[in-house]
Amino acid sequence: MSPDASEVLDLARLQFALTAGGHFLFVALTLGLATVVAGLQTKATISGKPLDARLVRFWGQLYVINYAVGIVTGLVMEFQFGLSWSGLTHYAGNVFGASLAIETIVAFFVESTFLGLWIFGWNRLNRWAHLATIWVVTLTAYLSAYWILVSNGFLNHPVGHRVEGGRLVLDDPVALLTNPSALPAFGHVVGGALVTAGFFMAAVGAYHLFRRSPEWRFFGRSLRIGVFLAFPALLFTAVLGGVQLSSIATLQPMKSAVFRQETAEIARLQAEMTALFGPGDYVPSETWTRGGALVMLIAFALMLYLAFAGCVLACFRTTVYRFRLWHVALIAAVPLPYVAMISGWVFREAGRQPWVVHGLLKTEDAVSSLSPAAMRTSLVVFTSLFAVLAVVNAWLLIRHARRGPDAVALGRDAVALDPDAVALGRDGRAGPPEGDASTSADAPHPAPRY
């Protein structure tokens, strides 16, 4: 490979890593919060309590912000395949491109349409119809994630195809849709998204409780929901992660050997692949492969400890509202799910190098024929755009999370509260009242009009 071609390949890989990782940050929180909001609205629709309705509106607005900014990063990801990876789309686009196209239809037509109905449907749709719209949004979000993992699973373990005219074509759709590299990964990503949402909710609640917000009941409930969601989601994610690790030895033995530092096995596999595919380095980077896995496992261990301790502490009313050290720990833990998910993605993707389609197409053969100058320009433009979007999204989330539920614009005219319910949990004290936990705010109220 010429120096210019090698530079283009390195720049293209760096660009894809930064933009794919950046997009993944938005997806994790969006997928998790969609599930949370749907669950909260189900409870609000059944209970008719104003506090439940206010939870829906507050967390729903944060979900909409993250979704709106994240959708732009998804559009940029689509451009990359045609711009930087024409060799991949030419060789395997007939197979993995089909699931990407379906994901685009699901996300940009079905999901966005029903999200619009949900956003503007307060006080216009029947409350059960309005509830149905958020569940359609949530289920289509899961479908989008599934179709993405079908495409990614094919790149890691190509199945269901045949070769025609030097290109791959779809031969067995069932094999593609039930790819053993896709299904456990889908469950793992879903679990990770719920963990992300749980830690985010707990941190926002902890922040307001630490500041002795008068909305102590609202944010105490949010904190509890966050920690009680995060712990089982972590266990579910760990189980699916274990399934994937056990399957790697069969599906991608070189990645497994590098992760386990099995020197003799690495040498044997290198010799075997050299004989099969010709001279070349078939050993992925240990720094990125093993390093990514270790960072993921360390972040997971920290989250598991915090989530388990959180479930215990959340059972006691005093610690929820007054244990300020715990509040600080929850706030500081917000980056952990993101660190775990990004490092896990690095382990999954870096471990299959030098292949872009494992065993069929090398990464160096998949990159577009661009000049180094054009690739550098593309890298600067895409990376700058993602950096701006990430900063804007973080600023919007922090700004709206700090302002609290009274400043929420989403569905503002739809929730009719009686005079005693306007200040749920806001009795003028620095913290919750001492004594019995029950107050008039727990009493049922007329169902909010959705």
Cβ(282)–Cβ(269) below 8 Å = yes
User: What pLDDT is recorded for position 66?
Assistant: 93
User: What pLDDT is recorded for position 1?
Assistant: 66
User: What pLDDT is recorded for position 354?
Assistant: 93
- Per the listing, tokens 């500081």 go with 332
For residue 26, how far is the Cα from the chain centroid? 6
> Residue 50's CB: how many other CB atoms inside 10 A?
23
User: What pLDDT is recorded for position 414?
Assistant: 52
Tens place of pLDDT per residue across the chain (450 aa): 677 788 888 898 888 888 888 888 888 999 999 999 999 999 999 988 999 999 999 999 999 999 988 888 877 777 777 788 888 988 998 888 888 888 877 777 888 899 999 999 988 889 999 999 999 999 999 999 999 999 999 999 999 999 998 899 999 999 999 999 999 999 999 999 999 999 999 999 999 999 998 889 999 999 999 999 999 999 999 999 999 988 998 999 999 999 999 999 999 999 999 999 999 999 999 999 999 999 999 999 999 999 999 999 999 988 999 999 999 999 999 999 999 999 999 999 999 999 999 999 999 999 988 888 989 998 898 888 888 988 999 999 999 999 989 888 887 765 444 333 343 444 434 456 444 343 333 433 333 443
User: What pLDDT is recorded for position 213?
Assistant: 85
User: What pLDDT is recorded for position 128?
Assistant: 94
Q: Can you tell me whether residue 357 is helix, strand or coil? A: strand
User: What pLDDT is recorded for position 428?
Assistant: 39
User: What pLDDT is recorded for position 413?
Assistant: 61
Dihedral sign computed on CA atoms, order 88, 90, 96, 97: positive
Cβ(363)–Cβ(85) below 8 Å = no
Q: Provide the residue count of the chain.
A: 450
Peptide bond just before 214 cis, omega within 30 deg: no
User: What pLDDT is recorded for position 344?
Assistant: 93
Tokens of 138: 């949530």
CB neighbour list of residue 272: distance below 8 Å, 6 or more residues apart: none
Closest CA to 324 of 168, 436, 444, 209: 209
DSSP letter (8 states) at residue 283: P
User: What pLDDT is recorded for position 368?
Assistant: 87
**Predicted model pTM:** 0.89
- Per the listing, tokens 């679990």 go with 191
CB neighbour list of residue 298: distance below 8 Å, 6 or more residues apart: none
By the 10 Å C-beta count (0-12 exposed, 13-18 middle, 19+ buried), 2 is classed as: exposed
| 408 φ/ψ angles, rounded to the nearest 5 degrees | -70, 130
Closest CA to 402 of 217, 223, 211, 257: 211
Whole-angstrom Cα distance, residue 307 to residue 300? 10
Whole-angstrom Cα distance, residue 114 to residue 37? 14
CB neighbour list of residue 206: distance below 8 Å, 6 or more residues apart: 219, 223, 326, 327, 328, 330, 331
The two counts, helices (H) then strands (E), for the chain are 16, 4
User: What pLDDT is recorded for position 223?
Assistant: 96
Whole-angstrom Cα distance, residue 243 to residue 222? 32
Tokens of 341: 């998910």
User: What pLDDT is recorded for position 102?
Assistant: 84
User: What pLDDT is recorded for position 221?
Assistant: 94
User: What pLDDT is recorded for position 52?
Assistant: 92
Whole-angstrom Cα distance, residue 254 to residue 259? 9
User: What pLDDT is recorded for position 97?
Assistant: 82
DSSP letter (8 states) at residue 25: H
For residue 246, how far is the Cα from the chain centroid? 23
